Amino acid sequence: MKKITKIAAFALGACMALGTLCACGKEDGGVVVVWGGAEDQTLLKQIVEEFKAANPDVTENIRVEVQDAWDAQSVVTKDPEVAADVILIPHDQVGIMAQSGLLSEIRDGTSATFATDIKNNNDPATVQQATYNGKLYGFPLTMDTYIMYYTTDIFNDEKQDLSEFLGSVDAMLAADMPNIPGSKETATAFGFRMEDGFYFNMGFFAMGCTLFGKNGDDVNACNWNNENGLKFMRYAAQNFRQSGKKFKSDDAKNLATAVLNNRLGACISGGWEMQDTFKGAKNVKYRTLPSINVEGTDYPLISFSNSKQYVINNMSEHKATASRLAAFITSEQNQLRYAEERGYYPSNTNAQQNTAVMDDPFFKVIREQLNMSVPVPIIPEISRYWEAAKSLGGSVYNGSLAGDDESLQAALDKFVDDLKSTI
């Protein structure tokens, strides 16, 4: 990047003092930094080494650093000049980062067809998620959503057909639960993260409510405070309270671990938890999201979905190499590796049709749920949704919000009003 930190400057000075370039990078090229999550470092470093071998004309030294994708926007915003050149983000950060001038537009070049390849080779949903104000900013890598996991030690579908039972939140909450192994404490039936807008939306979407309109691009079109939104809030206040003992809200990773250890019958969690928490677990199975019964009618919960994208820092001095690297990391071949080694569903349409993905029972459930999901809006105003949803969901779970219609409606009205002013 353009700015040299004190540590980097010291290291460069040491190299010069020794009269050698040592490990400071190639003589002419400088350094290109790529970010990836801690859990993906091994695979990402392998891919970077393969990129170097396949592109001997690249003069820059390439360095892989750890940076969680969810926090990338805030880190880049603080000082874009020292941020990475190639940055992994969830797609809902594309809009606000592009609006702020932090991202480089992706175009075709004289000897490269970056934009054309992205549009031709990836799921149309992820191409749309990479686009803001008609300009393309992202190299799609994965498609994400969440599903329901359950333990057969509590909900044993091998002894009886539990398809209808597991398809109903109400049935699970009404079930007699066994004791936690080695404890007199009763296991909890069902859980998801109420204080996380990525999950709390499910009931509103089930009831037909929209966030920023049908297409997710109208800041004045959130209707969670309508009659159907109030119906879900009543349901949530009755069934998703901390005091109810049958439901638990917690971090998705903690909920997944609780299912694994038979402290929780079922939870809704991100698809990536299959690889990180449930790998090799014989007592854990998965399915699409269940339904809630509101005033006698079953409504299937509808998930949020997103994609992770590699973007190019607009302050990068090495945009050509950064773009080549991003295209290589997100290629069909490497997306298949992310699928096989990390459990991430690919955005590349050819990779989606590969038998390794098509025949995998886990990916089949992810694909089915993706087809019943709503993409996280890309407009910059989505950035204020997360804290507002956290507050609303948390107030329902911890009981600070009363369950009468007047209190619930007032909370919904405030929530919608908080989202409507533009950034």
Can you give the chain as a three-state secondary structure string? CCCCCHHHHHHHHHHHHCCCCCCCCECCCEEEEEEECHHHHHHHHHHHHHHHHHCCCCCCEEEEEECCHHHHHHHHHHCCCCCCCEEEEEHHHHHHHHHCCCECCCCCCCCCCHHHHHHHHECHHHHHHCEECCEECEEEEEEECEEEEEECCCCCCCCCCCHHHHCEHHHHHHCCCCECCCCCCECEEEECCCCCHHHHHHHHHHCCCCCCCCCCCCCCCCCCCCHHHHHHHHHHHHHCCHHHCCEECCCHHHHHHHHHCCCEEEEEEECCHHHHCCCCCCCEEEECCCEEEECCEEEECCEEEEEEEEEEECCCCCHHHHHHHHHHHCCHHHHHHHHHHHCCEECEHHHHHCHHHHCCHHHHHHHHHHCCEEECCCCCCHHHHHHHHHHHHHHHHHCCCCCCHHHHHHHHHHHHHHHHCCC
CA angle 156, 158, 163 (to 5 degrees): 75
Same-domain status, 276 and 188: yes
Distance between CA 91 and CA 378 in Å, rounded?
Answer: 7
Same-domain status, 300 and 350: no
Q: Is residue 81 part of a domain?
A: yes
Same-domain status, 46 and 101: yes
pLDDT of residue 410 exceeding 80, the answer is yes
Same-domain status, 195 and 95: no
The residue among 337, 328, 308 whose CA lies nearest residue 32 is 328
- Read off the pLDDT of each residue in 149-176 and give the average, rounded to a whole number: 90
- Read off the pLDDT of each residue in 30-37 and give the average, rounded to a whole number: 97
Same-domain status, 179 and 255: yes
Q: What is the pLDDT of residue 6?
A: 35
**Residues 202-235: pLDDT tens digits?**
999 999 999 999 999 998 899 999 999 999 999 9
Task: Please give the model's pTM, rounded to 2 decimal places.
Answer: 0.89
Q: What is the pLDDT of residue 17?
A: 37
pLDDT band at 13 (very low <50, low <70, confident <90, very high): very low
pLDDT band at 422 (very low <50, low <70, confident <90, very high): low
Q: Is residue 298 part of a domain?
A: yes
Q: Is residue 395 part of a domain?
A: yes
Same-domain status, 257 and 386: yes
pLDDT band at 28 (very low <50, low <70, confident <90, very high): low
Residues spanned by the domain of 204: 146-305+378-420
Contact status, residue 294 vs residue 231, Cβ threshold 8 Å: yes
Dig out the tokens for 43 from the structure. 């695979």
Same-domain status, 400 and 267: yes
Q: Is residue 64 part of a domain?
A: yes
Name the domain count of the chain: 2
Q: How high is the mean pLDDT of the chain?
A: 91
Same-domain status, 244 and 279: yes
**Residues 240-284: pLDDT tens digits?**
999 888 999 999 889 999 999 999 999 999 887 777 788 889 999
Q: What is the pLDDT of residue 111?
A: 81
First-to-final CA distance of the chain? 28
- Looking up residue 392, the CATH number of its domain turns out to be 3.40.190.10
Distance between CA 334 and CA 414 in Å, rounded?
Answer: 45
Same-domain status, 156 and 116: no
Q: Is residue 92 part of a domain?
A: yes
More confident residue, 109 or 309: 309
Sequence-ordered alpha helix ranges (H) in 207-280:
227-239, 252-260, 273-276
Q: What is the pLDDT of residue 252?
A: 87
Q: What is the pLDDT of residue 5?
A: 40
Q: What percent of the chain has pLDDT over 70?
A: 92
pLDDT of residue 4 exceeding 60, the answer is no
Q: What is the pLDDT of residue 194?
A: 97
Q: Could you give the 3-state DSSP secondary structure of residue 253?
A: helix
Q: What are the Cα distances from residue 69, in Å, to 73, 84, 91, 200, 265?
A: 8, 12, 10, 21, 30
- Read off the pLDDT of each residue in 303-318 and give the average, rounded to a whole number: 97
Q: Is residue 136 part of a domain?
A: yes
Residue recorded with tokens 């079922």: 266
Sequence-ordered alpha helix ranges (H) in 330-404:
332-342, 349-353, 355-358, 361-370, 382-398
Same-domain status, 406 and 313: no
**Residues 323-370: pLDDT tens digits?**
999 999 999 999 999 999 999 999 999 999 999 999 999 999 999 999
pLDDT of residue 16 exceeding 50, the answer is no
More confident residue, 2 or 96: 96
Q: Is residue 1 part of a domain?
A: no
Q: What percent of the chain has pLDDT over 90?
A: 83
Contact status, residue 239 vs residue 173, Cβ threshold 8 Å: yes
Same-domain status, 171 and 301: yes
pLDDT of residue 292 exceeding 90, the answer is yes
Same-domain status, 24 and 127: yes
